[in-house]
Structures are given as structure tokens and as C-alpha cells.
A and B are shown apart, each in its own frame.
Chain A
Amino acid sequence: MADQSRPLSPHLQIYRWSWTMAMSILHRATGAALYLGTLLLAVWLISAASGKASFDAAQWVASSWLGRLVLFGYTFALIHHMMGGLRHFVWDLGHGYEAQQRMNMARLTLFISAPLTILIWIVAYVVR
């Protein structure tokens, strides 16, 4: 049994917010969101596999305003987590550890993922 009184690292409220910290937290948060998103994907796939009536019902839910909000969030989570992952690849290869590089990459994560998410939705509305 672990000793419950051993020291732990200070928690989030102790730190001044920075880009690198925010993008690190957002990477983990989007990962957790995608985790729950797989459940929605499984439900949608089962609905599609169960026949026209359940497929139409799933599409009705997905195209409601709440469904679109969730799907938009899922899109951003997917793209942002992917951009965060690419940032981690750079670090894994031994680059990007300088202060300015870390800051630039943290900003790029959001500055690419946010427009890319919107672009995907523009495409979705155009091809619809």
C-alpha cells in the first residue's frame, strides 16, 4: 500500500498559465475526449449496421444542433490531438527543446488545429 502522505507535485492552480502548459493540458484533455468519442463512434456504427430505421435515427441525432456541437468538438479534439502528437514526434526525434521553439510549437498546435477544424466543417457543409 502506498503511503498516502508522501509528497506529490503541486497542482495546476499553483502555476502561471503559459502556452506550453495550456497545450499540454489540452493534449491530455482532447485525448480523454476522444476516448469517450470512441463510444459514440461504436454506437453510430452499430446503428448503421442495424438497418435503415436505426441508421436514420442516428443521423437525425448527429445532425441535430446538439449532435453537431458534439461532432464539432470531436473534430477539434481529433485534429488538436493530432497536431499535439506531431509536436511530440519532433521532441521524440530530439529537436525543439529550446524555449522559443517550445513556445512556437505550442502556438502552432492551436493556430493550425483551430483553422483546420473550421476548414473541415466548411468542406462538410459544401459537400452536403
Chain B
Amino acid sequence: MHNNSSMRTPLGHVRGLGSARSGTGHFWLQRVTAVANVILAMAFVVIVLALVGKPYDAAMALLSHPVVALLMLLFVASGLIHMRLGMQTIIEDYVHGEGTKVLAVMGNTFFTVAVGAASVLAILKIAFGG
């Protein structure tokens, strides 16, 4: 809302980037991945249910199916992007010290990338036949 009491310049309004310099990018990516997660999490639940009680060979046969591997990759990617944004919001809400906040936000990214890389590597290894 632009009105006479606003402290922001017209240029600031037009750019719409806000105090975090990233505009609504965080909000929007959280929504996009949320929509993707609804579909991908349902697929994930079906895949896990299909794996219940399966011996090693049958489980590998299922997980190495291209469609299953693709759904797993997308679920991990979309889920991790979504969870990183969510955890960043939690950190920004509860961690008030500037230094610890920056470290926590950075650690959040490191955790996400590490878990993501490990998961993707494992899914691909299974998909390409171990």
C-alpha cells in the first residue's frame, strides 16, 4: 500500500524487494513446492506401501523402475527445497542474535544440500543397477 505515511521510496515500491532484498521469492517458492509436494508425497506413500515386506531383489526392482526413481528424485528435490525454506522461517522467528542466525541459516542450507546429495546419489545408484 503506497500512501503519504509510507517510509519507502516509489522506486522501492516498484522493485518490491523488501528488507530481505528477495521480494516474494521465498513465499512463492514455498507455495510452488507445496503444490508439488502434495502430488509427490502421495506418490511416495504409494511407493513405500508397495515396498512393505518386499525382499531385497523385489525392492530393488521396484526402486530401479524409471518412473519410481523419477518420482523419488522429484519428491526429494521438492521436499528439500520446501523444508529448507520452512526451517529458515523457523530460524528467523526464534533465533534473534544476528551471528547465530546467519550461522543457523547457513547450517540449514548445508544440511539440505548434504541430505539431498546423499539421497540423489543413492536413488541414481539403485536406478542404474547398483
Q: How large is the interface on B (under 10, 10 to 19, 20 to 34, 35 or more residues)?
A: 20 to 34
**Any B CB within 8 A of the CB of A99:** no
Q: Are A127 and B123 in contact (CB under 8 A)?
A: no
Q: Are A2 and B97 in contact (CB under 8 A)?
A: yes
Cα–Cα, bound, A88→B97 (Å): 30
Residues of A whose CB lies within 8 Å of any CB of B are 1-2, 4, 8, 28, 31-32, 34-35, 38-39, 41-42, 45-46, 48-49, 51-52, 55-56, 75, 78, 82, 85-86, 88-89, 92, 120, 123-124, 127-128
Supply 20 further A-B pairs (C-beta < 8 A) apart from A32-B90, A38-B83, A48-B59.
A2-B98, A31-B90, A34-B83, A38-B115, A42-B115, A42-B118, A42-B122, A45-B118, A48-B60, A49-B123, A49-B125, A51-B130, A56-B56, A75-B45, A78-B45, A85-B34, A89-B34, A89-B35, A123-B49, A127-B49
Residues of B whose CB lies within 8 Å of any CB of A are 31, 34-35, 37-38, 41, 45, 49-50, 52-53, 56, 59-60, 63, 76, 79-80, 83, 86-87, 90, 96-98, 115, 118-119, 121-123, 125-126, 130
